[in-house]
Amino acid sequence: MIDIILLYPKVNFYGPMKQKDVEKHFNEPPYNLMMLSSFLRKYGFSVKITDSQDTDYIKSLIERHRPKFVGISCISSTLDQCVKFSRLIKETNSDTKVILGGMHFSTGPESNKISKHLESGLIDIIAYGEGYITLKEILEGKDFSQIKGIIYKSLSDKLSKIITNSSQKKITNMDTLPFPDYTQIDFRKYKSANFGEQSMSLILSKGCKYNCIFCSIGNFVDKTIMLRNPLNIVAEIEHVVKKHNAEYLSFYDQFFTVLDNRLETICDYIIKRKLKIKWEIASRVDNITEQKIKKMKEAGCKCIFYGIESGSQKILDIIKKDITLEQVKKAVLLAKKYKLYVKGSFIIGLPHETKDDIMKTINLLKKLPLNFVQISIATPIPGTEMWDLALNKKGIELIDCNNPLLTTYYSHNTQLPGISSKELKYYQQKAYRAFYFRLGFIKDTLLSRTLKELFNDFKKGLILLKLIYS
């Protein structure tokens, strides 16, 4: 018997394709669960992680290890999948307690859909907010009434009641956390989506000071900014490179390109220690300078991912992105000057968007010399400002309020005044065609990519064709 198995459900964001193909081409390691595992093992608990979606395999794990608890990481779009896993676990071993946690519950117990599963006993505990201390106290056997950050069913005189305890305190010094539990994963499974190299993720900070109305990160980590020490970050980079042969790293950090001295220090350490690693970073466009791009390139940066979202300044202002179209163009051109692989994310169907606004987005992405675009249809997530707008039908509407959560980029549950759900899908496909079918894009790709990268692009291109023409 082990103390806990941690599960990481995945969702097929990419439409009409097999789940195994999604995992092969768009697969990321369960970094947060690896962090939880190393934290719990530090206190002597036995932990097993899996991100397999194979129900037979999960069932065999439960039968073999008979865990006291199973923790399931849940985002809004995997909620139904988490419930299915919970049912499988209870059917396999009714003594195992099921804990659901993750970003979906960052705003607390808002869902009757979950409350009924607490009532039925299908789910035993919901852990909301940061999970380190909460899970540790659950595994220690502490009385539920004394554990902060959980929701559970209490029995009193044979009457059940759903109890929500006060919020759990957060770990404010990230440097006190052990490195993720890399022993739990097979590195060969995880490849960078754009280069096909053995890949790993690293979280360099927590917190977000921005106010984008569609983003749920602020609900989970609030506005408190927590930064890892550059020496701590580089020590982990060195660990995954030398001990686990990582070839490519994705840095998750809201502030990497915001804080000049920190960026330069991290890059200088990478250069000084001669760490031969390629990496990418997501960044805003309003704090990019040539000096930063040059330093990042020198330290091994190969790719930068800009959150652009819209080609309409009106819409950028409505979603509180706090950037300008001129900043977008400047940031993209600077990255291209230093031959970085430049990705951009765009969203269609944002609140108060018109067909003219959507065409401005399509025209912008056609003009920008990007290497890759991600074009999503707006998805209101519980706890965000856009969710409140959708519930109140202010510039965006949910089609089915009883089943509000998005499951794929391919299917969605929103419409705008004057723009139907079907039309949003049409504009998404139009945008993809407008970007990827340009002769300039095809020529640039053929001239700038290696044969290995072109082969990787070809395989993902076949997937994209299914999305465009489905």
Q: Is the dihedral of CA 230, 51, 374, 320 positive or negative?
A: negative
Q: Residue 468: which region, alpha, beta or left (left: phi > 0; alpha: psi -120 to 50)? A: alpha
Q: Which long-range contacts (CB under 8 A, 24 or more apart) does 439-444 make?
A: 444/369, 444/371
Tens of pLDDT along 38-66? 999 999 999 999 998 889 999 999 999 99
Residue 358 is predicted with a pLDDT of 98
Say what percent of the chain tops pLDDT 70.
90
Residue 430 is predicted with a pLDDT of 96
| 296 in Cβ contact with 267 (< 8 Å) | yes
Phi, then psi, of 304 in degrees rounded to 5: -130, 140
Q: What is the rounded CA–CA span in Å between residue 35 and residue 33?
A: 5
Residue 369 is predicted with a pLDDT of 95
Q: Which residues contact 195 (CB under 8 A, 6 or more apart)?
A: 248, 278, 302, 303, 341, 453, 456
Q: Which residues contact 208 (CB under 8 A, 6 or more apart)?
A: 215, 217, 218, 221, 223, 254
**Cα 154–chain centre separation:** 33
Q: What is the rounded CA–CA span in Å between residue 284 and residue 292?
A: 13
Residue 122 is predicted with a pLDDT of 92
Place of tokens 């950037």: 323
Place of tokens 């902060």: 148
- Quote the pTM value: 0.91
What the chain holds in terms of domains, given with CATH numbers, is 4-164 (3.40.50.280), 186-469 (3.20.20.70)
Tens of pLDDT along 169-213? 889 899 999 999 999 888 888 888 888 788 889 999 988 888 999
Q: Which residue has the higher pLDDT, 192 or 86?
A: 86
Mean pLDDT of 144-152: 94
Q: What is the rounded CA–CA span in Å between residue 276 and residue 246?
A: 10
Cβ-count burial 335-351 (b if 16+ within 10 Å, e if not): bbeeebbbbbebbbbbb
The neighbour count for residue 243, using CB atoms within 10 Å, is 11
How sure is the predictor about 356, in pLDDT bands with cuts at 50, 70 and 90? very high
Residue 409 is predicted with a pLDDT of 47
**Please, where are the H alpha helices in 276-354?**
290-298, 313-318, 325-337
Q: What is the rounded CA–CA span in Å between residue 255 and residue 262?
A: 9
Mean pLDDT of 391-409: 73
Residue 468 is predicted with a pLDDT of 78
| 69 in Cβ contact with 99 (< 8 Å) | yes
Side chain identity at 434, as an amino acid letter? A
Residue 13 is predicted with a pLDDT of 57
Q: Is the dihedral of CA 453, 457, 458, 463 positive or negative?
A: positive
Listing DSSP states for 213-245 in one string gives TT--HHHHH-S--EE--HHHHHHHHHHHHHHH-
pLDDT at 403 over 70: no
Window from 18-27, 157-166, 336-345, 394-403 with minimum mean pLDDT:
18-27
pLDDT at 157 over 60: no
Q: What is the rounded CA–CA span in Å between residue 328 and residue 228?
A: 28
